[in-house]
């Protein structure tokens, strides 16, 4: 038995999802260095427990919006690693046919309303989706992920307000990794982020964002509440990115934070925290962790191989797909 509401199988499944994200990101960095991905990426390494803990509380009809650091959110909600690698590698099999890259990946069928390079911009999108759920009387929930830096974006504060006054089924998930690029939170925000959300009239909680089980339990409470019609809430997840802001800034990572600080947080690596919980509670048998890791590594290598087999779009199609031919609000066949 485990000490939480989660059974061992669910904990193992969350471990597997976190391992998948970790491996996806490690290989992404390697493919960038090898020139197979000709762009930079914002890696999510260290923050996996947030995406996985929250997404485990959601189903396909619930929607998420994401950020510039979006790979973890997309994979946690069921995104296809092959189509993600293909997108990063500029291949036709990619989510955006290889034309969008890391910050434009979306999968509407899975309720993934997309990564987003505009800081804070996912929050009003989530409020719009939530308004639709409410108008239709559907029991679904919208979850925008965003960082501590986004908490000073006007549009995010407007979203907190509109979600509060309309009692929208939104769970705002703030990934407080303590930095916005190189700016430490102490220089950018005063007071507590959760208290700021509470002042808008939202139910607000803070959770250890390195512990996937704790994130899952908090998210479940808030999602259930939203589903039941009890309105919007805010979950601040205390976390840390182990890597530089993005792969282009790796060389300057230690100019604004110390190696010792990174090391302290690495001791609470979310994969280790969950593995230790499974060890302590006899949640898995000897060798299970190594077996899951090997399975995930094979899945990722297979995804990379299949992505690499897909061709690059030809140059003479560069202007294709620039404009929508039909507006989704119009009946089929009507273009405006």
- Site residues (vs Mg ion, CB under 5 A): 147-149, 177, 180
Give the shortest CB-218-to-ligand TPP separation in angstroms: 19
Dihedral over Cα of 182, 67, 267, 216: its sign? positive
The residue from 17, 28, 159, 177 that contacts ligand TPP (CB under 6 A) is 177
Give the shortest CB-53-to-ligand TPP separation in angstroms: 17
Q: Judged by CB, which is closer to ligand TPP: 215, or 292?
A: 215
Structure tokens of 111? 């309720």
Give the shortest CB-156-to-ligand TPP separation in angstroms: 9
The residue from 87, 148, 211, 269 that contacts ligand TPP (CB under 6 A) is 148
Candidates 2-10, 178-186, 227-235, 294-302; binding stretch for ligand TPP (CB under 6 A): 178-186
Q: Is 171 exposed, middle or buried (0-12, 13-18, 19+ CB in 10 A)?
A: buried
The residue from 11, 50, 57, 119 that contacts ligand TPP (CB under 6 A) is 119
CA angle 216, 206, 15 (to 5 degrees): 30
Q: Judged by CB, which is closer to ligand TPP: 68, or 250?
A: 68
Does 160 interact with ligand TPP (rule: CB under 6 A)? no
Dihedral over Cα of 254, 256, 261, 266: its sign? negative
Candidates 78-86, 172-180, 222-230, 309-317; binding stretch for ligand TPP (CB under 6 A): 172-180
Residues 6+ apart with CB under 8 A from 16: 292, 295, 296
Structure tokens of 268? 């609470």
Residue 172: closest CA among 188, 161, 186, 184: 161
């Amino acid at each position: 038995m485990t000490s939480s509401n989660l059974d061992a199988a669910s904990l193992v499944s969350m471990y597997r999802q976190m391992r998948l994200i970790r491996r996806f990101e490690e290989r992404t960095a390697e493919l960038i260095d090898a020139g197979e991905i000709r762009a930079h990426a914002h890696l999510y390494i260290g923050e996996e427990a947030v995406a996985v803990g929250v997404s485990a509380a959601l189903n396909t009809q619930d929607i998420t919006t994401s950020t510039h650091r979006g790979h973890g959110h997309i994979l946690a909600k069921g995104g296809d690693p092959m189509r993600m690698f293909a997108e990063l590698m500029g291949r036709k099999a990619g989510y955006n046919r290889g034309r969008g890259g890391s910050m434009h990946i979306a999968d509407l069928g899975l309720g993934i309303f997309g990564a987003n390079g505009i800081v804070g911009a996912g929050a009003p999108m989530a409020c719009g989706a939530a308004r639709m759920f409410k108008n239709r009387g559907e029991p679904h929930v919208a979850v925008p992920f965003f960082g501590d830096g986004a908490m000073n974006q006007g549009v995010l504060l407007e979203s907190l307000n509109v979600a509060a006054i309309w009692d929208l089924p939104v769970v705002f998930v703030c990934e407080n990794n303590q930095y916005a690029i190189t700016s430490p939170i102490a220089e950018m925000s005063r007071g507590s982020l959760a208290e700021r959300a509470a002042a808008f009239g939202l139910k607000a909680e803070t959770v250890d964002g390195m512990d996937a089980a704790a994130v899952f339990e908090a998210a479940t409470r808030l999602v259930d509440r939203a589903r039941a019609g009890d309105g919007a809430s805010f979950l601040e997840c205390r976390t840390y990115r182990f890597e530089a802001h993005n792969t282009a800034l790796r060389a300057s990572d230690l100019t604004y934070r110390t190696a010792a600080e990174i090391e302290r947080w690495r001791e609470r690596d979310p994969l280790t925290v969950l593995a230790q919980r499974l060890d302590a509670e006899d949640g898995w048998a000897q060798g299970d962790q190594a077996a899951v890791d090997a399975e995930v590594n094979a899945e990722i290598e297979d995804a990379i191989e299949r992505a690499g087999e897909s061709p690059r779009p030809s140059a003479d199609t560069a202007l294709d797909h620039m404009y929508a031919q039909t507006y989704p609000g119009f009946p089929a066949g009507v273009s405006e």
